[in-house]
Structure 1
Amino acid sequence: MMKEKLFLYYTSDLHSHFENWPQIIGYFNQQKKKHERKGEDYWLLDNGDHVDRFHPIAEGLMGKGNVELMNQAGYHIANLGNNEGITLSEENLHQLYNQAEFDVACANLTYMNGSQPEWLRPYQIMTSKQGTKIGIIGLTAPFKTFYKQLGWDVQSPLDVMDEVLPEVREQADIVVLLSHLGINDDEEIARKYRGIDVIIGGHTHHLFQNGEFVEGTLLTAAGKHGTHLGEVILEWDDHQAKVTNKQAYAISTENMKKDEQANLDVQRKREEAVRYLRTPVTSLKETMNIAWFKESRLMQLLTDELRDWTSSDIAMLNAGVLLDHLFEGEITYEDVHRICPHPMNPCKVELKGDEVMEVIRVAHTKKLTEIRLKGFGFRGEIIGKMIFSGIEIVGKQGEDGTYYVREARIDGEPIDFDRVYTFATADTFTFGRLIPEVAYAKKKTYYMPELLRDLLAEALQNRIY
């Protein structure tokens, strides 16, 4: 047979949005039956960030529930995203894929504190029934500072490609890159390297409906949250020893028929996960309400805990991190996770007094507090009012509703503009340009693997009565 068609189906950046999982599995099963009937080769791939601890399944089972669902779906290869890589503890990541019935490919990740996990390989080689070999390389976003604190080393993707790509090209007829790097890196890799047939992209949640060609490499991406899945069709000509046709599509899952077994699998996995989350935290004599645009006792408790826990002069958190009230009676870790599901870490930066004042002014602007933020670890709706601890802010409300800051005092004394203060907040504000003074601070300390909800649990245990 001179020509054969090869089919790749993939998910990327699912982020534990299991509401779309039954549709995805329904489509996969439909395609699998079709290909098996025709004797065609196909593979199921995941490009990382399948895990997201905002969901009870990922939180209660520390990602292993995601792996079990992928086993049931019949995946062949998975890459790691940053949500697998830097939101789990060192031990939990090391064990994450121990029971995986699929292979893992991630070429730029190495364990620093002992033997490498058996599941971790830089690439995988798949062979079709006709003997055509497909090399699958995985690369993940290099959040070096975060990985290092968790006992892992993540290398530069380009340095790794210089070494790994020639090795794979020697063994494979076709090369596919699972890239959890983002659209800009994908385009750079396509321009720089010859011999990559397809780049399956993710991390930046971009979507290519029909694929894009860059220097002869086909780029494909399926957005986020399982609203789309990816399909790649390759035609290999054995006589010419090359790919003669390649196509890629992002297919909407919105109107796909749900697979009832997959639906049942998700329900059972959620029930199992929730049992682990029902650890008692405290008992409330009365309901603690939250509000996104005004102060609340619960939000103040969390901010105070952040300041003390990080031994900082000042702490600041946005009220939007708490998504719901805590009701009278027993409070479990399931409740804590429900109201604070974000994979956000505590962080401490050093700021001079004049920078602190600028942060305070920005923090009181509607331009910041009314942002409907998506990403940077935040899984809520809106940033909301900034709550402070360790500092007294003096100002007045203007007729336009804006709060105008006049001065700020620590222990009754005005801020010294030349003094360096330690300032605790969520790591979210060290990314992007939401608060430039925090994002560009020269000295940052990230606390990992603790998340904000771990501090909330401590505050509830130690600060209520």
Structure 2
Amino acid sequence: MDSLETIHIYHLNDVHSHFHNWPQMSRFIREKTALHQKEGASTFTFDLGDFIDRSHPLTDATKGRANVQLLNEMGVDAVTIGNNEGITMAHKDLEHLYEKAEFDVLVSNLNHLDGRPFAKRSIIYETPYGTKIGVFGVTAPYYQFYKQLDWEVTDPYEAVAEMVEILASKVDILICLSHIGERFDREIAKRHSELTIILGAHTHHLFQHGEYVNESLLGATGKYAEYIGHMKLKVDEHHQVVSRRAGVIRTDQLAVTYQDAQFSEDYMKKGKELLNKPIFHNEFNLSNDLFQTTELDRFFGRALLEYTGADCAMFNSGIFLGSLRRGYVTSEQLHELLPHPINVATVEVEGSFLKHIYEKTKAEDWPKIEVRGLGFRGTLMGKMHFERLYEKADGTIFIGNRRLRRDETYRLATLDMFTFGFFFPELAELPKKYYMPELIRDVFAWYGIQSFGSLSS
């Protein structure tokens, strides 16, 4: 018999409610867990956050609780949260998200405003052989977003340092569940040699064979349930790790049954049924066109102005993944039209810079830009639409019925993805307000009710 103890660690990250491979993934981990236990080995399974994504109808309809049930069924031991769990849901929905969780939720840098931790900061597991494994989690610090949702998120570097100080002397193996990104994971590995393993997420990076940085072994599985991560550790009689090996399993190569193939379709159908509730009666056909301004654009532009009271609005036609016909509009239709976990924002912008933005987005190739991440769930940027901001034939730009003044400050309503600095670096530094937890489809629904009346009234 092998005198060394074997510990298996399976990990997932950034699944984003992509359930096409979920049944075979779940079965694989359950079967491996049972096999390892039969062999006398210990097994732990962790999820690194962004398992939830409100772009899926069932996730949206159940406020993420359907996702929690899937993790229960898989037999996950612990999770940390990502930004999709943390800042795309109302405070009360996140607070109650894990009420029926049969696993540990670990976040060391998120608190209620009164200082109470959102979840456990850390936990120590002990194997049948007496090996102690300390695990803690950290999540990406979107300070302004969390603050507006009545949470306090703290510096993750400080949180890691605190957890290492508390746990390192008490455990034989120390694991960080990180939903912050590859650069952060590499940096904390350099700073803290006590970290045995760092499991990473958020930046959708993939380490097919793991990577060593300082004394730490890093693991990450990309995105969308494409891979399962696996680490195998050997521990001697003194509970010292004598070997570590990392790899990934491609989920599209796992055995699939007929029931597996039906699962994703059934989950989508169930979510749509739950969202099939009429909100208002639309009196017009609102068609979509990626490259032309349509009535759908104008409707949403007016919605942004009414909702925020801004001077003008800017958004891209690519956010619309369909059209709205005249008739009853349901939550399911709006979810299909605007599945993005994107919020509305207002930014204080000087006229000179507003003119710069307007001219920049007139570039011929702008509508064909492929947009990835930032909460966007479409494909192409599409035409940039401006509401209450327009150019006359002589080239003069107006806001409403007034000529734009270069030195005057205007309040611009837009989508949060344009405020992060990727498309317009200067916007990231300007004063802004985010409207949360309402997503852009909620603002669309609000304006529909304002325009046509509520069906519940």
CA-to-aligned-CA distance 1:403-456 (integer Å, 9 cap, x gap)? xx9331123332100100000100000113202332332x01111101100111
Contact 2:344 2:416 in 1 (8 A): yes
Contact 1:16 1:66 in 2 (8 A): yes
Distance (Å, rounded) in 1 between the aligned partners of 2:73 and 2:266 = 13
Residues 205-234 of structure 1 deviation map (CA, whole Å, 9 limit, x = unaligned): 000110111112111110000111111111
Tell me what 1:450 maps to: 438
- Partner in structure 2 of residue 432 of structure 1: 421
Counterparts in 2 of 1:15-54, with a 5 A limit? 15-54=16-55
Structure 2: give runs of 5+ residues left out of the alignment: none
Whether the 8 Å CA contact 2:30–2:75 is kept in 1: the answer is no
Cα distance in 2, alignment partners of residues 73 and 261 from structure 1: 16
Q: SS of the counterpart of 1:463?
A: helix
Indicate which of 388, 396, 408 corresponds to 1:407: 396
Alpha-carbon distance, 1:285 to partner:
5.0
Cα deviation 1:364-420 (Å, max 9, x = unaligned): 12343221111111111111101111122236xxxxxxxxx9331123332100100
The secondary structure found in structure 2 opposite 1:306 is helix
Given that residues 6 and 235 in structure 2 are in contact (C-alpha distance below 8 angstroms), is that contact kept between their aligned partners in structure 1?
yes
Aligned to 1:392: 390
State the number of aligned residues: 452
- CA distance 1:287–1:412, change in 2 (3 Å): closer
- What is the rounded CA distance, in whole Å, between the counterparts of 2:326 and 2:71 in structure 1? 38
Q: Secondary structure at the match of 2:245?
A: strand
In the alignment, which residue of structure 1 is the partner of 2:336? 338
CA-CA distance at 1:113 after TM superposition? 5.1
State whether structure 2 residue 409 is matched by structure 1 residue 420.
yes
State whether residues 342 and 377 of structure 1, in contact with CA within 8 Å, keep that contact through their aligned partners in structure 2: yes
Question: Hey, what does 1:223 align to over in structure 2?
Answer: 222
Match in the other structure for 1:321: 319
- The more displaced of 107-116 and 352-361 is 107-116
Residues 1:125 and 2:113 are matched in the alignment: no
Same amino acid, percent of matched pairs: 35
1:171-190 correspondence to structure 2 within 5 Å:
171-190=170-189
Partner deviation per Cα, 1:270-312 (whole Å, 9 max, x = no partner)? 4554343122112345542211111111121111110121110
Secondary structure, counterpart of 2:146 in structure 1: helix
SS at match of 1:186: helix
> Which amino acid in 2 is paired with 1:65?
A
TM-score normalized by structure 1? Answer: 0.93
For residue 253 of structure 2, give the secondary structure of its aligned residue in structure 1: coil
Q: Distance in 1 between matches of 2:261 and 2:173?
A: 35
**Aligned-pair CA distance for 1:265:** 6.2
- 1:162 equivalenced with 2:161 (yes/no): yes
2:122·2:135 contact (CA, 8 Å) conserved in 1? yes
Whether the 8 Å CA contact 1:65–1:269 is kept in 2: the answer is no
Q: Tell me the residue number matched to 1:400.
A: none
Q: Aligned partners of 1:179, 1:343: CA distance in 2, in Å? A: 21
2:70 matched residue in structure 1: 69
* Aligned counterpart, 2:348: 350
Matched residue, 2:139:
140
In 2: Cα distance, 1:165 partner to 1:339 partner: 45
1:103 corresponds to 2:91: no
Of the structure 1 ranges 26-35 and 69-78, higher mean CA displacement relative to structure 2 is found in 26-35
- Residue number in structure 1 paired with 2:242: 244
User: Residues 290 and 367 of structure 2 are in contact (CA less than 8 Å); yes or no, is this contact kept in structure 1?
Assistant: no
1:255 equivalent to 2:253? Answer yes
Q: CA deviation at 1:267?
A: 5.6
1:166-199: CA deviation from partner (whole Å, max 9, x where unpaired): 2111221101111101000001000011210110
Q: Residue type of the partner of 2:48?
A: N
CA distance in 2: counterparts of 1:116 and 1:219, whole angstroms: 27
User: 1:25·1:262 contact (CA, 8 Å) conserved in 2?
Assistant: no
1:38, CA displacement in angstroms?
Answer: 1.3
Distance apart, 1:92 and its partner CA: 0.3
Amino acid at match of 2:134: G
Unaligned runs of 5+ in 1: 396-404
- Aligned equivalents of 2:419, 2:79: Cα separation in 1: 29
SS at match of 1:121: coil
CA RMSD of aligned residues (A): 2.0
Aligned amino acid, residue 95 of structure 2: H
Q: 2: CA distance between counterparts of 1:234 and 1:423?
A: 54
Q: Name the aligned partner's letter for residue 246 of structure 1.
A: R
Q: CA deviation at 1:353?
A: 0.6
Conservation of the 8 A alpha-carbon contact between 2:27 and 2:74: no
Matches within 5 A, 1:267-278: 269-278=267-276
Residues 421 and 427 of structure 2 are in contact (CA less than 8 Å); yes or no, is this contact kept in structure 1?
Answer: no
Amino acid at match of 2:162: E
